[in-house]
Structure 1
Amino acid sequence: MHSFYRSYGKRAIDLVLSGVGAIVLLPLFLIIAALIKLESKGPVFFRQKRVGLHKKTFSIMKFRTMRTDTPKDMPTHMLSNPDQYITKVGRFLRKTSLDELPQIFNILKGEMTVIGPRPALWNQDDLIAERDKYRANDVLPGLTGWAQINGRDELEIPIKAKLYGNIWKKLATPGAAGRKKIKKR
């Protein structure tokens, strides 16, 4: 039963949720795309190399929130003045996390899952190495995960990696998230 869930059940849930999401959110996608195009030149979508399952790279898809002249492959928090690159529409999309919605297509392709550790940038060696300690690189990256609920970008890398590892343990054991440990006497 356990291996069936891990092999087929979670994927089926991902396909249903992302498939329905793509259909239901289509009007919102069109509105966001129009707003991005009205405000700035460049593509509506932004693709970036990220680290996925077993440290294989893939191209993540997001709504573009920054100007096209922003330095490539650099986490926003490492830019000297990130606000100068973020567009007005982009600021709203980031604040509401709507910029992440196109990742439902990464889920449909099997590169991501709905719940799992967020994919690291390919050049975030410190985060990738820290995740190895907690087996967080052994699961598909997710659209949302434990670290997003518990502090997102404000967390230090070791804490973030440990939270990702905790989600791995929960996902690896169906029903574990809702179970209490029973003490043996």
Structure 2
Amino acid sequence: MASGEAREEAILAATLELLAEVGYDRIRMDAVAVRARASKATIYRRWPGKAELVVTAIQRRAGQSATEEPDPGNLRDDLLGRMRAMRASLTGQDAGLLLGLLTAMHHDDELAGVVRARMIDDKRRAFDPAIDRAVARGELPSGVDRALLAEVGSAMLFSRAFVTGEPLDDTFLTDLVDGVLLPLLHARAVTA
């Protein structure tokens, strides 16, 4: 790992540690710098503020930069693959960190803006390859509601992981894809 990459990893690890210890509101950039053994200038060259730094740290821990999955040949299997990847990302996150971040969003407009711009858009883009391939195969028309698909799929995973505590097993993902997401895509495609 190159020196710059090691420095970035140290900064992101320090950010997550402090987030868990003191919460978003009380994180200070000087404390991140001290813990990461980096200068504040180094941090600010890469991240313009605390919100961007925290969101990057959480995304990195969750493995948001997943590689493109191969085309399974049909929309259903493509959606199942996407939902499995989202499940792995969601269950790989520290629930306390994520819930603390969501709580902080309610009173920090800057943080809310960064989270919405980066994390929510990432969730929406996660479905793009599956939709693009389905459109190319003729399974869906080009005007399907991608945002609604991402919102419903993400919300149901989030609810299971953090609200109901019910299992996020393959049976649930199959039921979600077959009973909710595919009908949603096809109903919205017909009326579009």
What TM-score does the superposition give when structure 2 sets the normalisation length? 0.31
**Max radius of gyration: which structure?**
2
TM, length-normalised to structure 1: 0.32
Bigger fraction of residues in strand:
1
